[in-house]
A and B are shown apart, each in its own frame.
Chain A
Amino acid sequence: MPWDRNQMAARAAEELEDGMYVNLGIGIPTLVANYVGDKDITLQSENGMLGMGPFPYEGEEDPDLINAGKQTITELNRTSYFDSATSFGMIRGGKIAAAILGAMEVAENGDLANWMIPGKLIKGMGGAMDLVAGVEKVVVVMDHTNKAGDAKLLKACTLPLTGTGVVDRIITDLGVFDVVEGGLKIVETAPEVTEDEVRAKTEATIV
């Protein structure tokens, strides 16, 4: 049984250690916050906040308090606010221990593409290029194949890159993979998912 979105998020939460400052991307990565349990994790939102709290109760939304996905959120008793230049100072400066983000494609050398489909999707990279350039550990959480069933773990990315050689670990619905010398290494597979199935759905070299 492949993992569902919540199981992928729960698996990604295992990557986080007590005391870490972490940036979570939009989509499945946002769900990771639900699975950190008792670990002391501080969430960074790159629009200028450390110590991001949960969504507000209805009627308590504050237009001055949003996350990087533009959603209303709340603060905690540990929260700090800062401007965008300071925010990316901590991101580029290597102060953020881990970033968990989505992807369109990942190559076997750790190249990442997640910001643009030429002629189709022109939204922009937001903070993704800064995050992958500066954060110590970059974990990608994504479906193993696209809607058409094509591999997303490739020998080389076909879409415009977000960063080169930046991805450390990939968590898909089929398993967990590390970027190592020569290709991707299977760390674990989802229950009842075989290595043969993983290989059949992966273009990247599996070592």
Chain B
Amino acid sequence: MKKVFATADEALDGILHDGMLIAAGGFGLCGIPELLIDALVKSGVKDLTVASNNAGVDGFGLGKLLETKQIKKMMSSYVGENAEFMRQYLAGELELEFNPQGTLAERMRAGGSGIAGFYTKTGYGTQIGEGKEVKVFPTGPQGQPEHYILEEGIFADLAIVKAWKADDTGNLVFRKTARNFNPPAAMCGKICVVEVEEIVPRGTLDPDHIHLPGIFVHRIIQGEHEKRIEKVTTRSREDA
């Protein structure tokens, strides 16, 4: 089956519906599926629940979908960089489910691996653990009992992902810290759409160096990325 599409609009055609759950890759603005986010804005699909570590910034990344009020609920670990997000949240227009970062990543990985739930120490005894099943395991250094809470896998209707390179079968290679949430997000989507900087001919990616096998990938587009930097931080050459 042909996986390569010409544009982000075409790649999303026929798979969007209001109220759907979307898992998005990216950390801050690094490795975000910026072309697919733009296409979602254009599509007008609404009442979205979006599982993404962050919510973009005002005017870029998921911030665009917030401005158009297409998002009903965010599942995130950190949303501190977005004033419009805060405004909507404090006005009660937007739901927010905080997930510890590792819990969010594992919930995606688990959902994509057919695991409906798992126990983690993270969040036990905090607001995050409230209302969740607690189980004790003898995992302390000397076998002492430790408390774990039940977290559920995320089974997303759609995953939107950014990778560096793909072949036409969907085998993906990521670049540096732009990998972040992209592989677990990709895994947990019933349909996974990936945007890449370059689609390369079959056989040119080393099979031993594939970061995510094409079985997780259903649709691919190639495009130009802005790749905005959130916080440019440098040192002067005199320091060296």
Interface residues of A (CB under 8 A from B): 45-49, 54-58, 60-73, 75, 81-85, 87-89, 91-92, 122-130, 133-134, 160-165
Other than the known A47-B180, A63-B178, A84-B27, what 12 A-B pairs have Cβ atoms closer than 8 Å? A48-B179, A57-B234, A58-B234, A64-B176, A66-B230, A72-B229, A84-B184, A92-B120, A92-B122, A126-B101, A163-B125, A164-B124
Supply 19 A–B pairs (Cβ within 8 Å), ascending by A: A48-B179, A48-B180, A61-B233, A64-B31, A64-B227, A68-B27, A69-B231, A70-B30, A72-B231, A82-B179, A85-B106, A85-B108, A85-B184, A88-B102, A124-B76, A126-B77, A126-B101, A129-B100, A165-B125
Please classify how large the interface on chain B is, using the bins under 10, 10 to 19, 20 to 34, 35 or more.
35 or more
Kindly report which residue of chain B lies nearest to residue A62, judged by CB atoms.
Answer: B176
Q: Which residues of A contact B123 (CB under 8 A)?
A: 129, 133
Smallest CB–CB gap between B60 and chain A, Å?
12
How far is A72 from B178 in the complex, measured between Cα atoms in Å?
12
Please give, as numbers and ranges, the residues of chain A lying within 8 Å of B53 by CB-CB distance.
Answer: 84
Determine whether B98 belongs to the interface, using a CB cutoff of 8 Å to chain A: yes
A127 to B181, CA, bound (A): 13
Task: Find chain A residues with CB under 8 A from B50 CB.
Answer: none
B102 / chain A contacts, CB cutoff of 8 Å: 46, 84-85, 87-88, 91-92, 127, 129-130, 134
Which residue of B has the minimal Cβ distance to A160? B127
Listed in ascending order, the chain B residues whose CB lies under 8 Å from chain A are 27-31, 53, 76-81, 86, 89-90, 96, 98, 100-106, 108-109, 120-128, 164, 174-184, 211, 227-237, 240
Name the A residues within 8 Å of B240 (CB-CB). 57
CB distance from B165 to the nearest CB of A (A): 12
A57's contact among B27, B108, B229, B235, by CB below 8 Å, is which? B235
Find B89's partner among A56, A69, A122 (CB 8 Å cutoff).
Answer: A122
Chain A positions within 8 Å of B120 at CB level:
92, 133
Cα of A47 to Cα of B29 in the assembled complex, Å:
12
> What's the minimum C-beta distance from A128 to chain B, rounded to whole angstroms?
8
A34 to B10 alpha-carbon distance, docked (Å): 50
Q: Within 8 Å CB of B28, what residues of A? A: 47, 66, 70
| Alpha-carbon distance A107/B106, docked complex (angstroms) | 29
